Amino acid sequence: MLDRLQIRIYGIVQGVGFRPFVRRLALKYGIRGTVCNKGSYVEILASGSRMQEFLSAIPEEAPERSAILKIRTRELTENVLLPEEFQIIESEKDEGLVFVSPDIATCPECEKELFNPKDRRYLHPFINCTACGPRLTILDSMPYDRVRTSMGEFPMCPECHREYTDIASRRYHAQPVCCRDCGPELYLLNRPERGDEALKEIRRIIRTGGIVAIKGIGGFHLCCDGTCDEAVQRLRTLKHRPFKPFAVMMRDMETVQRECLVPEAAETILQGPQKPILLLEKKETGNLSPCLAPGNPSIGVMLPYTPVHMLLFRYPDGESMPEVLVMTSGNPSGAPICMTDEEAEKYLLPMCDAILSNSRKIRIRADDSVMSFYRNRPYMIRRSRGYAPLPTVLLKEYSHTVLGIGGELKNTFALLKGDMAYLSPYIGDMADVRSVEALHLAEARMEQLLEITPECVTMDLHPKYNTGEVARKLAKEKKIPLFEVQHHYAHILSCMAENEYMDPVIGIAFDGTGYGTDGTIWGGEILLADGEGFRRMGSIRPFIHAGGDKASREGWRIAVAMLPEETTAELELGTPKERAALRFMMGNQVNTIPSTSVGRLFDGVSAVLGLKERNSFEGEMSMQLQFEGEEELRRRGDEPVGIHYENQRISEEENFLYLETEALIQWIAERKLAGESSGKLALLFHEVLADMVSEAALRIREKTGVNVVALSGGVFQNLLLLEMCQKRLEKNGFRVLTHSLVPANDGGIALGQAVYGAIQMDR
């Protein structure tokens, strides 16, 4: 172990007592040196013989409110003189060192004060301190000072000001600090109730089965009793959302333990400073309404992360509240989450019985983050509140700044500067003009906050995306170059960047839809990729996507394109008339386009197995297929499926690999008609697809010597498939790169786009 190191620690490491903690550790291990805040990271210069112990103690003993995303070390070769006694150095704000903190969940100390009748902030719905409270969502500009936040309109009372200026106080320099005398106030929209009365009334409405909207940190939630079928069902009707799972907020950890299976690592994250929604397996013995996530073994769960949430569950008015509340984003279908009273009144009032708002304005939208767990690590699905705008640290420093505008679905954009890329909060699906407007707003704000003026813009190759229009407009206004990046290449680059690996990889991009360089729909791609570009080495066997959007929603149409008429008739996929119309379109090439989308393939198989006929939300059919496979796996444990797939898995034509997925779906259809169980076939489908991936990687390794595989694209939210692929690849000696804190879905491609732009600019 080297005994002189520069250590950089990235994550939530500001204002959570991190530097004093480092100093204590250093003294304990006899380390000499310094620690300093450097904007988005803390830097330690250290020298000593017990360096290894010191290094491993940092993540193990880090302060409770901190969240370390990455530790990077390098040998300290410069001739820096380190002080004998370990020192905390005051941060001088260097050029280019900006730190915009994500919003931080209410800390345990503030929670204690909130429910302490003797505390002067007893039941104060906006209690916060130096270690917790809103940040990104109230910021106007940097540096982070009260006047440059939406708290600027609430002058501090003398007592709050005293705490704010007292270095010994928990609220020293806490910009949003306030109390009942000087802070914002709760109120019901279009009704007279204010303050505690407003809160009590909202609790009453929830308790009696009503639906309310509640203003949170990054937008409004729609909320109702999560144990009441009627309330949940009514919310589904009002929100036009028949099946898509609702996330819930549970009163406390005990409730979560009672309702769900909680892996150990998940507990820390549930209670941590970021409080994302975690996907957890439901217990059969729980009280949850089955309408929350119909047909889904898991549910999205979070714990209260603002004082208002805590008061919602525990306000001491003697009434008992449900311990599980639906907390779903308050937005009309397709549009971004509502942020202002005007939006709430217009869009949410028709969906609920009352709206609890407050006078602290939200400056930028931030939906709740959603994550699941893979191999004991977080596996991000939606990266937003609590994570945005924490940077992703890149392998190297780039000399130009870039804006990656992001994907058309699940849009998130990225700003890149130096060796860091900042992913924005989740914006939404760009088919809706309101989302486009939200993208414009958020992009301008993030540029300002992060002090990044992009020198180029990157966008998806698709000629008709709204994001493309935004990118073109920005490039023109700023007079900067614009680059197009193929969708699946951006996915793979994103995975590479997150793993700090930029040498050639075999990229497996399994996805819903992306525009290919040949103008067809891609989505089952095998790319040989590095930072400079990619070569398409193979794909799944193309099929005909007929009938545009309808085929994306109705998986049976995909199945019909891949199966003979007798088989589809026997399986009763669509009516004879519908099938005839479809076959006519295919025969005459009307409204048809070749596709290699694995997302659609999943839909097709799902339809063949009779699991679901159509998607009421994106990915519904694929998810059913995954659940069916997972359940089968649980049932049989290690016992093999007992049926074998003997057909050829892969073929090669003119140096291009085809995964023979059409033959696979035909075989599955035949077995289904022969009476084989859907569970077995669902599981087998996953296994054979994973075999194909691994076999393709082997063939490409033979040709190229590349031994690293990157797995990305929305289909890899399917952890059953991900695990099967990774296991096979590792068995064959591959190094496998997977996502963790950057989503595998389209919410992550902005990172790949941004990195591509940076590389192009540096050429």
Binding site for Fe ion (CB under 5 A): 511, 746
Output 367 or 746, the one with its CB closest to Fe ion. 746
> Which residue of 12, 138, 151, 160 would you call a contact of Zn ion, by CB under 5 A?
160
Among 593, 523, 605, smallest CA distance to 562 is for: 605
Binding segment (CB under 5 A) for Zn ion, from list 108-116, 322-330, 396-404, 443-451: 108-116
Min CB(171)–Zn ion separation in Å = 8
Asked if 709 and 696 touch (Cβ cutoff 8 Å), the reply is no
> Which residue of 182, 581, 650, 719 would you call a contact of Zn ion, by CB under 5 A?
182
Output 83 or 108, the one with its CB closest to Zn ion. 108
- Write the DSSP symbol of residue 718: -
Output 130 or 412, the one with its CB closest to Fe ion. 412
Q: Which does 746 bind (CB under 5 to 8 A by kind): Fe ion, Zn ion, none?
A: Fe ion
Cross-strand partners of 526: 508, 538
Q: Please, which residues have CB within 8 angstroms of residue 578's CB and are 6 or more apart in sequence?
A: none
Two tokens, residue 295: 């047909």
Output 108 or 587, the one with its CB closest to Zn ion. 108
> Which residue of 61, 75, 153, 181 would you call a contact of Zn ion, by CB under 5 A?
181
Binding segment (CB under 5 A) for Zn ion, from list 172-180, 378-386, 461-469, 682-690: 172-180
Q: Does 157 bind Zn ion (CB under 5 A)?
A: yes
Output 632 or 746, the one with its CB closest to Fe ion. 746
Among 302, 299, 246, smallest CA distance to 270 is for: 302
CA atoms within 13 A on the CB side of 424: 32
Min CB(511)–Fe ion separation in Å = 4
Among 590, 596, 604, smallest CA distance to 547 is for: 590
Task: Give the number of residues in contact with Zn ion, rule: CB under 5 A.
Answer: 9
Q: Which does 511 bind (CB under 5 to 8 A by kind): Fe ion, Zn ion, none?
A: Fe ion
Other CB atoms within 10 A of residue 182 CB: 17
- Write the DSSP symbol of residue 144: -
Rg (CA), the chain: 27
Q: Which does 160 bind (CB under 5 to 8 A by kind): Zn ion, Fe ion, none?
A: Zn ion
Q: Does 110 bind Zn ion (CB under 5 A)?
A: yes
Q: Does 107 bind Zn ion (CB under 5 A)?
A: yes
Q: Please, which residues have CB within 8 angstroms of residue 275's CB and are 6 or more apart in sequence?
A: 105, 302, 303, 305, 386
Q: Does 12 bind Zn ion (CB under 5 A)?
A: no
Binding segment (CB under 5 A) for Zn ion, from list 24-32, 48-56, 109-117, 542-550: 109-117
Q: Does 325 bind Zn ion (CB under 5 A)?
A: no
Q: Does 185 bind Zn ion (CB under 5 A)?
A: no
Site string for Zn ion, 266-305 (x = CB under 5 A): ----------------------------------------
How many whole angstroms separate alpha carbon 405 and alpha carbon 471? 6
Asked if 528 and 506 touch (Cβ cutoff 8 Å), the reply is yes
Q: Which does 110 bind (CB under 5 to 8 A by kind): Zn ion, Fe ion, none?
A: Zn ion
Pairing of strands 735-737, 708-712: parallel
Output 107 or 493, the one with its CB closest to Zn ion. 107
Min CB(514)–Fe ion separation in Å = 5
Q: Which does 421 bind (CB under 5 to 8 A by kind): Fe ion, Zn ion, none?
A: none
Q: Which does 342 bind (CB under 5 to 8 A by kind): Fe ion, Zn ion, none?
A: none
Two tokens, residue 502: 């930029």
Output 509 or 551, the one with its CB closest to Fe ion. 509
- What ranges in 101-218 are assigned the alpha helix state H? 108-114, 158-165, 195-207
> Which residue of 45, 67, 69, 179 would you call a contact of Zn ion, by CB under 5 A?
179
Q: What is the DSSP string of 427-456?
A: -B-TTSHHHHHHHHHHHHHHHHHHT---SE
Decide: residue 369, CB within 10 A, 0-12 exposed, 13-18 middle, 19+ buried. buried
How many whole angstroms separate alpha carbon 371 and alpha carbon 172? 33
Residues that bind Zn ion (CB under 5 A): 107, 110, 129, 132, 157, 160, 179, 181-182
